[in-house]
Amino acid sequence: MSATRVAWFHCFSGIAGDMALGALIDAGADVDEVRTILDGLDLPGWALDVEPVLRNGIGGTKAHVLQEPTNVVRTASHIAALLDDADLPDRVRRRAHAVFDALAVAEGRLHRQPPEQVHFHEVGAIDAIVDVVGTCAALEVLGIDEVACSPVANGLGTIRAAHGVLPNPAPAVVELLRGAPTVGLDVPVELTTPTGAAIVAALAGEWGPIPDMTIQSAGFGAGTRELDGRPNLVQVVVGDRTETLERGQPVTLLEVNVDDVTGEVLAHAVAALLDAGAHDAWVSPILMKKGRPAHKVSALADPALDAQVAQVMRDETGSFGVRAARLERWPSARSTEVVDLDGDPVRVKVGPGRAKAEFDDAAAIARRTGRPVRDVISHAEAEHHHAHDHPHPHPHPPGPEDTPPA
| Closest CA relative to residue 107, chosen from 92, 122, 96 | 122
In terms of domains, do 300 and 378 share one? Answer: no
Residue 352 CB partners (closer than 8 Å, separation 6+): 332, 333
pLDDT digits (tens, 9 = 90+) for 353-392: 788 888 888 899 999 989 999 998 998 888 888 877 655 4
In terms of domains, do 253 and 173 share one? Answer: no
Question: How many domains is the chain partitioned into structurally?
Answer: 3
Residue 137 CB partners (closer than 8 Å, separation 6+): 29, 33, 34, 37, 38, 88, 89, 92
Confidence of residue 406 (pLDDT cuts 50, 70, 90): very low
Q: Is the pLDDT assigned to residue 83 strictly greater than 50?
A: yes
The verdict on residue 404 lying in a domain is no
DSSP 54-72: EETTEEEEEEEEEE-----
The verdict on residue 177 lying in a domain is yes
| Closest CA relative to residue 115, chosen from 32, 186, 198 | 198
In terms of domains, do 63 and 101 share one? Answer: yes
In terms of domains, do 316 and 370 share one? Answer: no
CA–CA separation, 196 vs 218, rounded Å? Answer: 18
| Cβ atoms of residues 92 and 140 within 8 Å | yes
CB < 8 Å & 24+ apart, contacts of 49-55? 50/22, 50/25, 53/222, 55/220, 55/222, 55/223, 55/226, 55/227, 55/231, 55/232, 55/233
CA–CA separation, 97 vs 378, rounded Å? Answer: 66
Domain of residue 270 covers 249-329
How large is the average pLDDT for residues 176-189? Answer: 93
Question: 359-369 and 373-389 are packed helices; what angle lies between their axes, rounded to 10 degrees?
Answer: 120
In terms of domains, do 296 and 230 share one? Answer: no
The verdict on residue 405 lying in a domain is no
Alpha-carbon distances of 91 from 12, 138, 327, rounded to whole Å: 27, 11, 38
In terms of domains, do 55 and 200 share one? Answer: yes
In terms of domains, do 267 and 350 share one? Answer: no
In terms of domains, do 46 and 154 share one? Answer: yes
Give me the half-sphere count of Cα atoms (radius 13 Å) on the Cβ side of residue 12: 15
Alpha-carbon distances of 126 from 46, 191, 221, rounded to whole Å: 7, 21, 20
Helix (H) or strand (E) holding 333: none
CA–CA separation, 135 vs 204, rounded Å? Answer: 13
The verdict on residue 24 lying in a domain is yes
The verdict on residue 396 lying in a domain is no
CA–CA separation, 13 vs 19, rounded Å? Answer: 10
pTM of the predicted protein model: 0.62
How large is the average pLDDT for residues 70-96? Answer: 88
pLDDT digits (tens, 9 = 90+) for 226-269: 998 899 999 999 999 865 445 678 899 999 999 999 999 999 99
Query: Which position has the higher pLDDT, 357 or 31?
Result: 31
The type of residue at 168 is N
The verdict on residue 48 lying in a domain is yes
pLDDT digits (tens, 9 = 90+) for 292-337: 899 999 999 998 888 899 999 999 999 888 999 988 888 777 788 8
The verdict on residue 182 lying in a domain is yes
How large is the average pLDDT for residues 343-354? Answer: 83
Mean of per-residue pLDDT scores for the chain? 87
In terms of domains, do 218 and 115 share one? Answer: yes
How large is the average pLDDT for residues 110-124? Answer: 61
